[in-house]
Each structure stands twice: as structure tokens, then as C-alpha cells.
């Protein structure tokens, strides 16, 4: 079917009284306005991701992988107009000079767009719909992510101010688990989170969210993750959290966690628990750290690694828990079950 156009840009997403983006459940009308012709999929509680692949069509993930929507029809011009409008709603601009843009919309909706010729098959849109934005550990336990004894242990990890690294592939629930854990931090603690695109929504009264600023049309004004981690140290945080370590900011995070900032956390993309040391060594190299320095810093900074997986049926679960160890001046890891 034809796509009903055009969605008019609306500026920055609406915000709740606490300054955070409102959820689709609290402001469903605004969220639907954000998605425009894709709004009907917001009402489907099973949809977690939407992918528009130019004129090749729309693919919808309802938990078991993307499936093509046979009824969807849109020209390249219509898809590009939709991408432009969605990015504008997030307060940014996309064109030939800036063909790849990532924004956050109402309720945590995350939109990534790529224009041709970078996307050779036409304008590509990837939209993530947060369905467990306010999930707690009890809810995740009921949903099968982990057993009750593991839930109790995770709460103890937070209350004991142990530093953790949450790992897994894209869409495994890293952000959801981390937000659920941090909601158990004492109310008198100050949590500062640093993310490329702010997605962590924590049920906590003292949460400060810092978000990367992209360069403007003249290519200036960028504020990256590494600088935000350094800035957060001046904000007297009780807990520092980096939403996704992907570059040199890993050095600043490890430095912070090794200098008295306990109870911190980060997330990291990794295929398996055994792959985490190599990923950290690679990120450390980007920050000018050799393997021995990475091993010493990580082993003393991170108490536990929580690795998540998502099976073919869409079930997300805490698959393995690890603890770092130094092995011949290189970083190693061993699986543990500390709740037993």
C-alpha cells in the first residue's frame, strides 16, 4: 500500500517533567506522530524493530527475526522523505554531506538512516522500538531472562557497588538489563550515564544522562564519548555508566573505575563471553594502550561480565557470567556462577 505522506518535522522530542524523553505508553499520540506511516506498528506490542530497505520493502521484527511486509509499497523518494522527517524530529539533519545519522525520538525510539550512494540499494532506515523500557529485574526474571537466584545475586551486585560489563550481540537486551539493575541503586546516589544516543531510562530519582553531540553542518562542535566520560568525573557521580564502549572512551572508563568510582558499568558488543578480552584489547589499542596495560586495568576495574544471548525464538537470556583474569600479561576470562 502507498505510504501516507508527508510527516512534518517537529523538532526535539517531547520530554517529561524529569527531563527524560516520554515513553510511548505515556505519550502514545506523540510517538505515533514521530513514526508517521510506520505508526501502526507501534501499536503491535510484539514489534521490536522496523527496517525499510529503500524500494526493496519493509521488514518487521516481532521477536523471531525480520520478516517482509508484503503489503508495504513506497518509492525511493517517499522513503527518503520519511527518513529526512524522522531525523529532523530528532533535532538533526541528513543530506548528501551527512548521509548517516542516528537520533532518538519520543519514548526512546531510535532511528538510524543512511542515504544513497552510501546505501547502494536506496535509503535505509532502521528503527528500534523499546518494549521493555521500564522493565525491572523481577519482570525479566518472570520473562525467563534468568532464574530467581540470579536475580537476587544481581541485586546484591548493585548494592555492593561492584563494577560490571554487560556484553552481547545487538538486540540481546544489554541496555534493558543494565537499566533494570541500576534501578536498585540507593536513592541517595547520583548516577551519570554517557551514551552515543541516550537510551538508558532508569527508575531512579537522581539520574543524569549525557549524550554525544554530532558535528554541525560545518563539521565542528562534536563532543564524543571520551570527552563526556572526562566531564562526568567533574559532576561528582556516585556511579558512572558508559552505554556502549566502542573506542578510546574505554581508557577513560577504566581509569574512572580504577580510581574510586565503584558501582559503575558499561556495555560492549561481543559475540560470546570468550570474545570479550579480544574486543577490549582492540578498543584499548585505539586508545594507545598495549595488551598488558589493558589486562591490568580491566582485571582490577571490572568485577563481573554479564553476557546475554537471544535465541531464534526471540528469547533473551543471561547466558554466561565471567570474571577477568590476567594470563601471561594478556587479558583472559573464566566462567563463574557466583550465586551458587
Domain ranges in the chain with CATH number 3.40.50.300:
137-335
pLDDT digits (tens, 9 = 90+) for 125-135: 999 887 655 67
Give the burial class of 326: count Cβ atoms within 10 A of its Cβ; 0-12 exposed, 13-18 middle, 19 or more buried.
middle
Q: What would the mean pLDDT of 136-143 be, rounded to a whole number?
A: 92
Please give the pLDDT value at position 131.
Answer: 62
Highest averaged pLDDT of the listed ranges 38-52, 215-229, 248-262, 319-333: 319-333
Please give the pLDDT value at position 311.
Answer: 86
Residue 21: which pLDDT band, with cuts at 50, 70 and 90? very low
What's the Cα-to-Cα distance from 209 to each of 11, 245, 302, 335, rounded to whole Å? 20, 16, 22, 32
Q: 0.85 exceeded by the pTM? A: no
DSSP string, 134-150: T--HHHHHHTTSS-HHH
Please give the pLDDT value at position 132.
Answer: 52
Q: Is the pLDDT of residue 3 over 50?
A: no
Determine whether domain 28-128 maps to CATH 3.30.450.370: yes
Question: Whole-angstrom Cα distance, residue 78 to residue 55?
Answer: 9
**CATH code matching the domain that covers 137-335, chosen among 3.40.630.70, 3.30.160.60, 3.40.50.300, 3.40.30.10:** 3.40.50.300
Question: Whole-angstrom Cα distance, residue 250 to residue 200?
Answer: 18
Domain ranges in the chain with CATH number 3.30.450.370:
28-128
Residue 16: which pLDDT band, with cuts at 50, 70 and 90? very low
Average pLDDT score, the chain:
85
Residue 20: which pLDDT band, with cuts at 50, 70 and 90? very low
Highest averaged pLDDT of the listed ranges 5-19, 23-37, 165-179: 165-179
Residue 12: which pLDDT band, with cuts at 50, 70 and 90? very low
Share of the chain above pLDDT 90, in %: 52
pLDDT digits (tens, 9 = 90+) for 199-212: 888 889 999 999 88
Please give the pLDDT value at position 26.
Answer: 41
Q: What would the mean pLDDT of 273-277 be, rounded to a whole number?
A: 96
DSSP string, 255-322: HHHTTT-TT-EEEEE-SSGGGHHHHHHHHHHHTT--HHHHHHHHHHH-SEEEEEEE-TT--EEEEEEE
Amino acid at each position: 500500500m502507498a505510504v501516507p505522506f508527508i510527516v512534518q518535522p517537529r523538532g526535539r522530542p517531547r520530554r517529561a517533567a524529569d527531563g527524560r524523553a516520554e515513553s510511548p505508553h505515556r505519550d502514545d499520540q506523540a510517538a505515533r506522530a514521530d513514526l508517521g506511516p510506520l505508526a501502526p506498528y507501534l501499536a503491535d506490542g510484539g514489534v521490536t524493530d522496523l527496517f525499510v530497505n529503500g524500494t526493496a520493502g519493509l521488514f518487521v521484527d516481532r521477536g523471531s527475526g525480520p520478516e517482509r511486509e508484503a503489503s508495504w509499497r513506497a518509492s525511493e523518494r517517499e522513503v527518503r522523505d520519511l527518513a529526512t522527517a524522522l531525523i529532523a524530529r530528532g533535532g538533526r539533519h541528513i543530506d548528501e554531506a551527512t548521509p548517516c545519522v542516528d537520533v532518538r525520538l519520543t519514548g526512546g525510539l531510535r532511528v538510524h538512516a543512511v542515504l544513497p550512494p552510501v546505501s547502494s540499494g536506496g535509503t535505509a532506515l532502521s528503527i528500534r522500538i523499546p518494549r521493555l523500557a521500564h522493565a525491572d529485574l523481577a519482570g525479566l526474571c518472570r520473562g525467563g531472562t534468568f532464574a530467581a537466584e540470579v536475580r537476587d545475586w544481581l541485586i546484591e551486585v548493585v548494592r555492593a557497588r561492584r563494577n560490571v560489563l554487560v556484553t552481547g550481540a545487538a538486540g540481546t537486551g544489554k541496555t534493558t538489563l543494565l537499566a533494570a539493575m541500576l534501578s536498585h541503586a540507593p536513592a541517595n546516589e547520583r548516577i551519570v550515564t554517557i551514551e552515543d544516543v541516550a537510551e538508558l531510562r532508569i527508575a531512579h530519582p537522581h539520574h543524569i544522562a549525557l549524550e554525544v553531540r554530532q558535528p554541525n553542518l560545518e563539521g565542528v562542535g562534536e563532543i564524543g564519548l571520551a570527552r563526556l566520560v572526562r566531564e562526568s568525573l567533574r559532576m561528582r557521580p556516585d556511579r558512572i555508566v558508559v552505554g556502549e564502549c566502542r573506542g578510546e572512551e574505554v581508557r577513560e572508563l577504566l581509569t574512572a573505575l580504577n580510581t574510586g568510582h565503584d558501582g559503575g558499568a558499561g556495555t560492549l558488543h561481543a559475540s560470546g563471553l570468550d570474545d570479550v578480552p579480544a574486543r577490549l584489547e582492540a578498543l584499548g589499542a585505539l586508545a594507545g594502550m598495549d595488551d598488558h596495560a589493558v589486562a591490568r586495568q580491566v582485571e582490577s576495574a571490572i568485577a563481573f561480565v554479564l553476557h546475554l544471548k537471544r535465541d531464534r525464538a526471540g528469547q533473551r537470556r543471561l547466558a554466561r557470567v565471567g570474571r577477568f583474569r590476567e594470563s601471561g600479561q594478556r587479558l583472559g576470562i573464566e566462567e563463574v556462577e557466583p550465586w551458587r
